[in-house]
């Protein structure tokens, strides 16, 4: 490992291994999907909202532990820049990290069952597919994250499914409005993964981890990242057909611009770590802006 900070111990290492900077990707779509119910002149079902949020967070933490375990046992996390890796750093055994991943997925499943019991049992099938996708991202004999399909999965599950699922938990309906506002959430969740893969591109290429960034190359990976941010803003503008107040998200353009400039100027390695956090915050601010637009 190339970690320079003191290694966390005890419970702190598990918090670090959960990768807190990625958690806005789990919070934001639930916030948007839940707030959208206000456009139907209905009140929020707070217990359903809390269950949806808890499931989303558990899935995000579970996939982070799962990635830590799978990458660690494959040796693809050696000498990697970025958040601490529990297995690769030796802070936790592979068995312990795998157990943490399965435990967290189990929590997500239990909470999902509770939500399904309050809404529709179809959510059980959706949850099962989400957990399978979370594990198969880097786990199993043929992880799809190693073949360049990670962004597609993130867009679907942490964008479309999380947003529309949260709205469904409030309304028990599937609508085009919910799909439309899921697009900026999916694009920004993908942007978090894209900048993470851009940071790891040199190392991933050496160990045979063929992420989308590795497949398209450094220049195109940067353009893809910019395109995802542009898609988020464009979708939010189109969402003005639901309420013109969604244009409040245009206030985030200066923040988006600063991130884009840094990426296009060639930021690499450790210089991309702060940008990862800024993109996470950008998604959360986006979600807050949309939520306010719908609530008003």
Would you say residue 157 lies in a domain?
Answer: yes
Residue of higher predicted confidence among 293 and 82:
293
Q: In this structure, is residue 74 part of a structural domain?
A: yes
E strand or H helix at 69: helix 46-74
Task: For residue 5, tell me if it sits in a domain.
Answer: no
6 pLDDT band, cuts 50/70/90, is low
Q: How many domains does the chain have?
A: 1
Dist CA 274 CA 253 (whole Å)? 18
Name the 3-class secondary structure at 157: helix
- Tokens 């992880």 appear where? 143
pLDDT band of residue 77 (cuts 50, 70, 90) is: low
Question: What is the separation, in whole angstroms, between the first and last Cα of the chain?
Answer: 48
Do the domain assignments include residue 4? Answer: no
Q: What is the greatest pairwise CA distance in the chain? A: 54
If pLDDT is split at 50, 70 and 90, which confidence band does 86 have?
confident
Determine the average pLDDT of the residues in 158-182: 95
Q: Which domain holds residue 117?
A: 22-295
Task: Report if residue 206 sits inside a domain.
Answer: yes
- CA 229-217-185 angle, to 5 degrees, is 20
233-267 pLDDT tens trace:
999 999 999 999 999 999 999 999 999 999 999 88
Mean pLDDT (the chain, rounded): 90
Contact status, residue 198 vs residue 263, Cβ threshold 8 Å: yes
Residue 38 CA neighbour count, 13 Å, CB half: 13
In the predicted structure, residue 203 carries a pLDDT above the cut 80: yes
**Which pLDDT score, from 0 to 100, does residue 17 have?**
86
Q: Rounded to the nearest 10 degrees, what angle do helices 94-118 and 46-74 cross at?
A: 160
What is the model's pLDDT at position 26?
Answer: 92
pTM of the shown model? 0.90
Q: Is residue 15 part of a domain?
A: no
pLDDT of 162 > 70? The answer is yes
Give dist(CA 201, CA 198) in Å, integer. 5
Report d(CA 207, CA 210) in Å as an integer: 9
CB atoms within 10 A of CB 244: 10
Q: Is 289's pLDDT higher than 90? A: yes
Question: pLDDT at position 2, please?
Answer: 41
The mean pLDDT of 194-211, rounded to a whole number, is 86
Cα–Cα distance measured from residue 153 to residue 225, given in angstroms and rounded to the nearest whole number: 16
In a domain, 152, yes or no: yes
Residue 106, pLDDT > 90, answer yes
Of the candidate ranges 107-111, 119-123, 194-198, 203-207, the one whose mean pLDDT is the lowest: 203-207
CATH code assigned at 129: 1.10.600
Whether 232 maps to a domain, the answer reads yes
Q: How far apart are CA 69 and CA 49, in angstroms?
A: 30
């Amino acid at each position: 490992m190339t970690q320079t900070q003191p290694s966390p111990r005890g419970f702190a290492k598990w918090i670090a291994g959960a990768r807190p900077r990625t958690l806005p990707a789990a919070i934001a779509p639930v916030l948007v999907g839940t707030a959208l119910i206000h456009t139907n002149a209905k009140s929020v079902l707070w217990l359903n909202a809390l269950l949806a949020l808890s499931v989303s967070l558990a899935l995000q933490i579970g996939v982070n532990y799962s990635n830590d375990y799978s990458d660690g046992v494959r040796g693809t996390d050696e000498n990697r820049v970025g958040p601490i890796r529990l297995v690769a750093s030796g802070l936790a055994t592979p068995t312990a990290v795998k157990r943490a991943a399965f435990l967290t997925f189990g929590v997500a499943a239990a909470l999902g069952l509770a939500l399904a019991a309050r809404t529709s049992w179809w959510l059980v099938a959706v949850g099962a597919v989400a957990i399978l996708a979370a594990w198969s991202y880097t786990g199993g004999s043929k992880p799809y994250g190693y073949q360049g399909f990670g962004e597609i999965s993130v867009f679907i599950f942490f964008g479309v499914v999380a947003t529309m699922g949260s709205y469904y938990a409030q309304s028990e309906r599937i609508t085009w409005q919910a799909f439309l506002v899921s697009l900026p959430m999916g694009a920004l969740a993908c942007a978090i993964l894209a900048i993470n893969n851009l940071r790891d591109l040199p190392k991933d290429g050496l160990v045979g981890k063929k992420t989308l960034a590795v497949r398209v190359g450094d220049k195109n990976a940067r353009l893809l990242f910019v395109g995802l941010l542009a898609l988020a803003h464009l979708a939010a503008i189109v969402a003005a057909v639901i309420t013109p107040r969604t244009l409040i998200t245009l206030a985030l353009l200066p923040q988006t611009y600063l991130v884009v400039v840094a990426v296009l100027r060639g930021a690499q390695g450790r210089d991309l770590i702060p940008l990862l956090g800024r993109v996470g915050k950008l998604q959360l601010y986006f979600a807050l802006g949309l939520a306010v637009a719908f609530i008003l």
